[in-house]
Structure 1
């Protein structure tokens, strides 16, 4: 069988896809991408056959084998965009064993998965296109990479509105900034993230939200949203000191205990301390916020105030927030170890920064796609595991008068 000529428009990428197909919906785009993937896979297979035979088609070099090309066979492939027909090159002695699409293999959606995986690791669209060319020997445009990654947008939309657990033992909230570039204007975009621990000790990122800045009002809207998605109760929220956020959270979830991140308070206090005294001041601060009892914490804080009276700004930071230290001792040590800091969600943001540091994003969708793919990677790492020492945490919650009935109620689900 001779190879059929395909419409040349289907081999062109990026803008040519839109020019040729004029897609008006996601379904239209998927149909267009199916036509584009066909020539891509065929180019990969032709390259493999060239390597197998030891010479390129139409080559004038001496052929060291009696084996020759022998036309093409039809094959139907399953991709994430649906089924498509391609033509597989054959050789005369049937010794050609393709590696990219092995014989009897019909599911090649993993190729598209590799593109998504590279995108999730923070590679730019141009870098992905270059890597595909280096590995597989054919060229795709960075716009084509964008089209491939756009296939996760419906999944992202479903994830953003999915139902949540009825109760979370701990929520950690934080905000980071990423650069967007729209209409030649560069601006900062606030990324809001909530990480939750449910009553079984499972970690879950409840959502990611974008806004121009971090504000109490936006956090209130987010708390309202997660309540609409099924969250009835939260035991603890660990947060940084956004003005008014504590009262706002309690207005929506009246029984929640709001804990200021003590690590942030340490950083705030150190702004008033010269570098020569950092080490000693940090040691003395730790003596009260990690004390074994409330009385020991209060005694250590009194000593701290007397010793470091020369740094009134640092002392004032702790005076205004010492009730957040005192309330820690209402709970067991396992609970205190979790609730005293937002490090858990800051670790998530650290993972986000690894893939967003490449530069400005052209729009919010491009940013959300990348963050969502990163979330999926994190969730896969957490799957099947529990928060360290969770059994002890649950025991301490169960015997606490403020939480015992609430834990018993929601542990039934």
Structure 2
């Protein structure tokens, strides 16, 4: 059996390890990983797996005892394996006392976030001096799946969310020996205290009415009540699913996307007055004021043939883009667009670039879920600071 040797070359490791930002939310995941490492160490010491009978085994299992380990992110409690003879001793605690914990946490973060087993094996080799089997790395990731799955299925009936944001992004996944695009659905929300939460995520084959409907139904099954407003882009399937699943809910078209669509149709030259007039329409605090400025804009520029497409886009999407103005003014900066959700998507994309192609759908769900959990914990900390 291979004995894991712990030799740390920090110069090599710094080049091999991804940037780390594990937070307290990852404690449970780290406990699972370290417990699995100690279990493997005991198997190697005994020279026999669980329930395995052979002639060369050295001793027998004798349960576990609990021991605390202080990490840079806080204290965790581990289940340390025992043997009947009492001679087995794990090296996990010794490792943490002799090396920089941040590097080890980086390796664990990669496991949590679904990095390919090949990359994780490379980092483990840098950390431990010996390679571990692909099946062992895979078993660690499988143990971590329940952490994300439990979070993604948690009840949503503990509070009311009047404003929900929905968006989808595309990732690359290896499936049946092919690389395919898949849609990642993410929904966030603002509660009545103006604090943000992530409601859930879903990985599907494509962005469609059926997929959005299934996603919203899943949120409702977890206890989500119909919101006052759903903020999103103008994807037809998404709009149809909102109307179907949230009867009576208002759809707010993302104002940033809408304005971009309007300005895209403008001619390139001599449009300063037109641009000023368009910006004035939406730089208001009340819906009636926006309508008045829009009517003035059409009266002034309506006969300009160069603005035909711009005016048509403005007329068709105007009312859907100003629904947020009917809500209390304190919410206006937050519910006028999907910018907050897009920033979260950008964080997912930043992490996803290091992987490029996910080995499978579950790996994608695991990594994105871990990022969203971390975001949720960050919002909770902000909430506590706000109360103080």
Q: Give the TM-score of the pair, scaled to structure 1.
A: 0.65
Q: Which residue of 1 aligns with 2:139?
A: 147
- Structure 1: which 5+ residue stretches go unaligned? 1-7, 12-28, 42-75, 91-97, 104-108, 391-413
Give how far 1:112 is off: 7.7
2:320 aligned residue = 324
Bigger shift: residues 308-317 or 376-385: 308-317
Does structure 1 retain, via aligned residues, the 8 Å contact 2:151–2:373? Answer: no
Higher relative contact order (Cα pairs below 8 Å, separated by 6+ residues): 2
Q: Match of 2:373?
A: 376
2:357 aligned to which of 354, 357, 360: 360
Distance 1:359 1:89, change over 3 A: closer
CA contact (8 A) 1:10 1:39 kept: no
Residues 190, 196 of structure 2: 8 Å contact kept: yes
Q: 1:122 and 1:298 mapped to 2: Cα distance?
A: 49
> Counterpart of 1:171?
164
The TM-score with structure 2 as length reference comes to: 0.69
Q: 1:127 to 1:89 in 2, by over 3 A?
A: closer
SS of residue in 1 equivalent to 2:347: helix
Distance 1:309 1:266 in 2: 20
Distance 2:315 2:233 in 1: 17
Which residues of 2 match residues 1-400 of structure 1 at below 5 A? 8=1, 34-37=38-41, 82-84=79-81, 87=88, 100-102=95-97, 114-119=106-111, 124-140=116-132, 144-165=136-157, 166-243=159-236, 245-274=238-267, 283-305=276-298, 306-307=300-301, 309-357=305-353, 358-386=355-383
Alignment partners' CA distance in 1, 2:245 and 2:382: 30
Give, in whole Å, the separation in 2 of the partners of 1:225 and 1:247: 16
Q: Work out whether residues 216 and 242 of structure 1, in 8 Å CA contact, stay in contact via their aligned partners in 2.
A: no
Q: 1:336 to 1:116 in 2, by over 3 A?
A: same
RMSD, aligned CA: 4.1
305-314 vs 374-383, greater mean Cα deviation: 305-314
Contact 2:104 2:127 in 1 (8 A): no
- Partners of 1:111 and 1:150 lie apart in 2 by 22
The 8 Å contact of residues 170 and 184 in structure 2, kept in 1 or not, is answered as yes
Aligned length: 323
Higher gyration radius (CA)? 1
Structure 2: 5+ residue runs without aligned partners? 5-32, 46-63, 68-76
| Structure 1 residues 39 and 256, CA gap change in structure 2 (3 angstroms) | same
Q: Distance in 1 between matches of 2:328 and 2:386?
A: 12
Report the Cα offset of residue 193 of structure 1: 0.5
